Amino acid sequence: MGVGINLRKYRKLAKLTQRELANAVGVKHNTISDWESGRTSPDTDSIILICETLRISSDSLLETKKTAQGEMTLNGFDHALLDLTKEYTQEQKAQFLENAKIFDNSLKWKEQHGED
């Protein structure tokens, strides 16, 4: 499941309204709605406050849906990457991705040609 779906599930299990959770986390109630719908995502500080308020682990909140390859969860690197790029414009994200592809191709070439 995605963060928004998990957030809604755990908020409802805690019997909290969006407004109540928003007050506990220190955001506007429509921010909770945006997070639950997937329009935006909580930052690291908000994730910590959400987890403390709902008494869940960050792994529970951040768990993504199962795929054919198995269960996917976000690790520390994934979170760092999301935090790094969350303020990027679409153009910056596209450039970042292009650079990552170039780097990946370089690693593959080195691997094929026995270079470290």
The residues spanned by each domain of the chain are 3-67, 86-112
**CB neighbour class for 56 (10 Å; exposed up to 12, middle 13-18, buried from 19):** middle
Percent over 70 (pLDDT), the chain: 84
The CATH number of domain 3-67 is 1.10.10.10: no
Q: What angle do CA 43, 58, 31 make, to 5 degrees?
A: 35
26 Cβ contact partners less than 8 Å away, ≥ 6 residues apart: 49
Cβ–Cβ under 8 Å, residues 41 and 86: yes
pLDDT value, residue 79: 66
- Tell me the angle at which helices 29-37 and 18-25 cross, rounded to the nearest 10 degrees: 110
Residues of the chain with pLDDT under 50: 68
pLDDT value, residue 56: 86
Q: What is the pTM of this model?
A: 0.55
The count of C-alpha atoms lying within 13 angstroms of the C-alpha of 112, restricted to the half-sphere facing its C-beta, is 6
